[in-house]
Structure 1
Amino acid sequence: MASSFTVPQRILHWLMAALILFNLLFTDAMETAARLMFRGQALTPEQVSSANIHAYVGIGVLALGLIRLCLRLVQGVPPEPRQEPPFLRLVAKISHWAFYALFVAMPFAGIGAWYFGNKTAAFAHTGPLKLLMWALIVAHIGGTLVHQFYWKTDVLKRMTSG
C-alpha cells in the first residue's frame, strides 16, 4: 500500500479545500438573492450572476467530490499511522466519510434551494450541513496539527509533497 496519496488525490484535496472555503466564506450574494427569491421579489441580472458564482462553485465541489470518491475507491488511501490510538482512527474514518457525504449532500441541498426554490433544502444547506462542514474542517485541521506536532507522523506530508 502507498505511503502517501497520489498526485491527483492531492490536487483534488487542495482544489476542493479552496472551493469549499470560498463558498463558506463568501455567501453574501447568494444569501441576498435567496432572501429575495423566497420573498417572491425579482432579482437583478447582477444579483443572479453573483449568486450563480456560489452555485457553480458548489456544483464544482459536487463533481470533484465524486471524482475524488472514485479515486479513493480505486486507488485507496495510505494506512493510518500506528501512533494514532484505535479510537481516534475510527473517528478519523467516520469524519472522512462524513466529508464525502457532505461533498454530495451540501451541493444537492443548494441545488434544491436555488434552482427549485425548496425552503427545506435551503435550511439544510445553510444550517446543519454548513455547521457540520465547519466542525469537520476544524477537527480535520486540528487532527492534522496533532499528528504533525504531537505524534510527529507524516500525515501532513502525505497530502502535500508525498
Structure 2
Amino acid sequence: MVDAPSAFSLPQRFIHWGMVLLIGFNLLFADGMSRWGHLVRRGETPTADQVASANIHAYVGIAILGLAALRLMLRLVQGAPEEPPGEPPLLKLASKVSHVAFYALFFAMPLSGIAAYYFGAQAVGSIHSGPLKMLMWVLIGIHVAAALLHQFYWRTDVMKRMTTG
C-alpha cells in the first residue's frame, strides 16, 4: 500500500460514482429479476420481455462485479485518504468496518446473483435478494448520513475528496 493521498484519484472517483448509479439501478429496479425468478420457480415460461429485464439486471450486476475488482485494485495501488484529523476512534473504526462491509457486498451481491440466475442456486438467490440487499440499503443509508454529517456538521473535506478531489 502506498502513502495515503489527500483525495481519491480521478479513476477512483469515476468508478465510485459509476457504481453508485449501477447499484442504485439494480436495487431500485429489481422487479424484472424477481418476476423472472417467480415464474421459473413455478415452472412457467417467462416472456421475452421478462427474460430481457432479468438479463439487464444480471448484466448490470456483472458490470458492478468488474468495477468492484478494478476499484479494489486501485485502492490497493493508489491508496485512500486518511480519516479526518480529530475524528473519534469509535467513528474511525465504524468507517473501516463499513467500508470492508461495502467491499464484501460489492463481490457477494453479484456472485450470489450469478449463482442464482445462471446456476439455479435458489437458496443463494434468497440470500441475495433478502439479507444482502437489506444490508446494502442499510450501509448506503449510513454512508450517506456519515458523508452529510462530515460535510455540514463537522465541516471536513470528506465529500470533496470523492467529488472534486
Structure 1 and Structure 2 fold alike (TM over 0.5): yes
Which whole-Å CA distance do the structure 2 matches of 1:11 and 1:108 have between them? 23
RMSD: 0.8
Offset of residue 104 of structure 1: 0.4
Residue among 100, 109, 113 paired with 2:112: 109
Deviation at 1:83, TM superposition (A): 2.9
Equivalent residue for 1:144? 147
Corresponding residue to 1:71 among 59, 65, 74:
74
How do residues 1-162 of structure 1 correspond to structure 2 at under 5 angstroms? Answer: 1-162=4-165
Which segments of 5 or more consecutive residues in structure 2 lack a partner in the other structure?
A: none
> In the TM superposition, what is the alpha-carbon distance from 1:84 to its structure 2 partner?
1.5
1:40-95 Cα offsets, whole Å, 9 max, x none, are 21112221111100000001000100100000011100110013111100100110
The DSSP-based 3-state class of the residue aligned with 1:77 is coil
User: TM-score, normalising length from structure 1?
Assistant: 0.98
Letter paired with 1:101: A
Tell me which moved more, 81-90 or 17-26. 81-90
Larger mean CA deviation between 95-104 and 41-50 belongs to 41-50
Structure 1 CA distance, aligned partners of 2:152 and 2:127? 36
Q: Find the residue that maps to 1:153 and give its secondary structure.
A: coil
Runs of 4+ aligned structure 1 residues displaced above 3 Å come to: none
TM-score after normalising by structure 2: 0.96
User: Using the alignment, how far apart are the partners of 1:155 and 1:97 within structure 2?
Assistant: 18
